[in-house]
Amino acid sequence: MGVPLSVGIIGAGKISAAYATTLARLPGIALTRVADLDPARAAALAADFPGVLPVPTAGLLSSEDVDLVLNLTVPQAHAAVALAALAAGKHVYGEKPLAATTAEARPVLAAAAGAGLAVGCAPDTVLGTGVQTARASLLAGDIGTPVAATAFMVTPGHELWHPDPEFYYQPGGGPLLDMGPYYLTALVTLLGPVRRVTGMAATPRRARTIAAGPRAGTVFPVGVATHQTGVLEHTSGALTTLLMSFDVWTGRLPRIEVYGSDGTLGLPDPNQFAGPVHLFTGATGEWTELPDRAGYRDAARGYGVADLAHSLRTGTPHRAGADLAYHVLDIMECLQTAAETGAAVTVPSTCDLPALVPLSAHPDAL
């Protein structure tokens, strides 16, 4: 397998422990450094993982035992941190979205290409057995030709559980940019790139109140749309109906369904790596649960980093790469433009679809 890829984390917030726990158990990865604007937070994360050192950000970027920067900062900082890492000669894997805007993302892609470095981006949930089994079913023709899909994500808002939720309600956040990447990455993986979108959006509440943690009762302003709807026209001709909302207490809508000429596929929550995939066909007239056919088994946050490490060692394409992440960001930005203008918007970018993940334990087991 060769020398492990050394990883340094910038951003020791809520999601960082999940990544660190996964990376600690995966072959081909060595977590070495962690940095945060709050040194105490970096020290707390490092203390749980022997051999990991808390350091200032500048020290992490200059460290010889960091090959890749895992960028877990808030969305508004994604592009700046990625550019700093690339300038320091490090590969980058970031939390979603790739950047707050496509204008911020393009210099990241250009810098990586110019330096011959790799950029990857969450979500890597799409690499798990849920979406990958559904994709294998589509490739096998189980529902015939896909003609449409639906995707629904509804919640009353992250301020009910997150102790510092303000960034979810500022540019770079909102239900579309926060949760949309999970759904749109899955939809693009299943049905191909999107060429045109239309949609509408609303902000029913201009202020929110933190309900959990030491700042409970704090009121903060909302600076983004919190209820977004849209229709996506894929290059394949399939049409997806999308709903992303922080304004719905609950619902009984499916997460993702794909409708074909011969049947329907029901997918699990794309914010998770696994879950049941159900198939209905006109021939059987009933729903059946498919066995796992593809994807990384028992995957968790961090498998996208391992897939990138594997691609660097083997020269194979990365499955959670920047082109896919940029196209998803472009789709979301076009949905926002469509909501603002009331017109259908052509999506300027496209992407190649990553290879199907064979059913395996981790990237180095392929």
Chain segment 187-203, per-residue pLDDT in tens: 999 999 999 999 999 99
Whether 126 and 186 have beta carbons less than 8 Å apart is answered as yes
Q: Which domains does the chain carry?
A: 5-121 (3.40.50.720), 128-289 (3.30.360.10)
Supply the pLDDT for residue 1: 53
pLDDT at 99 over 80: yes
pLDDT number for residue 69: 98
The pLDDT of 77-87, averaged and rounded, is 97
Alpha helices in the chain (DSSP H): 16-25, 39-47, 57-62, 78-87, 102-115, 129-139, 174-191, 303-314, 322-341
Q: Kindly report the average pLDDT of the chain as a whole number.
A: 96
Band (171; pLDDT cuts 50, 70, 90): confident
Task: Give the mean pLDDT of 219-224.
Answer: 97
Task: Provide the 10 A C-beta neighbour count for residue 355.
Answer: 10
Q: Which two tokens stand for residue 235?
A: 């290059």
Q: How confident is the model at residue 14 (pLDDT cuts 50, 70, 90)?
A: confident
Return the bridge partners of 288, or none.
279
Its sign, for the CA torsion 16, 179, 263, 320, is: negative
Q: Transcribe 292-338 into DSSP letters.
A: P-BSBTT--TTHHHHHHHHHHHH-PPPTTBHHHHHHHHHHHHHHHHH
- pLDDT more than 70, % of the chain: 99
Q: What is the pLDDT of residue 73?
A: 96
This prediction has a pTM of 0.95
Report the pLDDT value the prediction gives residue 173, as an integer from 0 to 100: 86
pLDDT, tens only, 39-58: 999 999 999 999 999 999 99
Q: For position 3, what pLDDT does the model report?
A: 84
Count of other CB atoms within 10 angstroms of residue 253: 13
pLDDT at 365: 85
Nearest partner of 36 among 65, 67, 6, 15, judged by Cα: 15
